[in-house]
Each structure stands twice: as C-alpha cells, then as structure tokens.
Amino acid sequence: MPNLGADMTIFERTLEPSGDAADDLAALFHERGSTIRFAPGTTIAHQGETAGSVYRIRRGCVRSSMYSSEGERRILQFLQADNFLGLSDAASWLAAQEAVDTVVLETLPRSVFEARLQFCPSLQRAVRHALATQVEAHASLFALTSQTTAVERVRLFLEDYQSSRTSTGFVSLPMGRRDIADHLGLSME
C-alpha cells in the first residue's frame, strides 16, 4: 500500500466480501444480464442521466468523471474488470461513465437488480462491500490530492495501479497523461 509519509497513509482496503456474496453478485449479472461492448472514448452513461441500469465490468477500463458547468473535468476513479457501476440508490448518474479502452459490460435493468437484492442477504452484503470500497477509494484520493506533491501523486497512482495487476515488471496504462492529470488534480505542463 502506498505510504504518504510518517503519519500519512492511503486508506487500506480492509473490507473483503465473503466468497458467496461476491459470487452471488457476479452470478446475477451472468445469469440475468446482457453483454454490451463500448469502443474507446464512448460514453456509457451521461452525468445527470437517469440510472436505469446497473453494470458489471467484464473487460476494459471505465473512467468515472464529473463535469462542472464550465466544462472542467474531474476524474473520480478508474474502474476495471469485476467492478460495478450504478449500485447506489441514486435515480441519476452522479458522474459520467466513459470507456477508456474497449470495454465489455454485463448490464441489468435496475428493476431486476433491486428485486433480487430485496430478498437476498448475500447480495446485500456484496453491494455494501462494493459501495464501501468506492467510499474508501474516494477518501484515499482526497487524502492523496490534498497532502502530497505532484510527483508523489503520480508515483503513488502508479504504485497503486500496478499493485492491482499481475506483476510482469511493466505497467501498461489504458489512460493517457491528461486522464491521469485530471484524476490527480494536476495541470499539464
């Protein structure tokens, strides 16, 4: 885990779903969902649009971005395979969801997802875990961008990104420098 110094550490991801809960959530998408593919740069869901579906990422990288009224972009997170989009109760998308590279999603109508969720405690646990993980990621990003230098932000981003991949000695990033800068609150210079 990246360390920000003697008394600053990015929040640890300590929550782990039980195998059954995670498996049940994945199985629901596999059994009841349909598969859809998005080309790089394609918008999956627009900020403010009605959230009528829930998604599971099967392949690729999704950029979750908020846009100000002036058109400035802030990338909240990059999501990879086995992450979920739209799990919250929000009626509309808080952020735009965009394909960074070729993305394959499993999609479920929100009504199907919520009906199953209502009667399945293991799915409820899996959703709580997924949402808690997202909250931790946002808190970690806040700490990173408010308490480190630009060089430290980039180093910690790369270390964190690499730690979630199989190690081959190289880090292949699907996102470009502008995306990383918008995620870390940096300017391009």
Write the pLDDT tens digit of every residue in 5-19.
433 333 333 334 445
pLDDT of residue 16: 41
pTM, two decimals, is 0.77
- So what CATH class is 19-184? mainly beta
pLDDT tens profile 135-177: 787 777 777 777 778 888 888 888 877 776 666 667 788 898 9
Chain centroid to CA 102: how far?
16
Question: Do residues 43 and 96 make contact, with C-beta atoms less than 8 angstroms apart?
Answer: yes
**pLDDT higher than 80, residue 33:** yes
Q: What is the largest CA-CA distance in the chain?
A: 52
Does the pLDDT of residue 1 top 50, yes or no? Answer: no
- CA–CA separation, 44 vs 145, rounded Å? 27
* pLDDT tens per residue across span 59-81: 999 999 999 999 889 998 899 99
Q: Parallel, antiparallel, or unpaired: how do β-strands 34-38 and 84-85 relate?
A: unpaired
The pLDDT, as a whole number, for residue 166 is 65
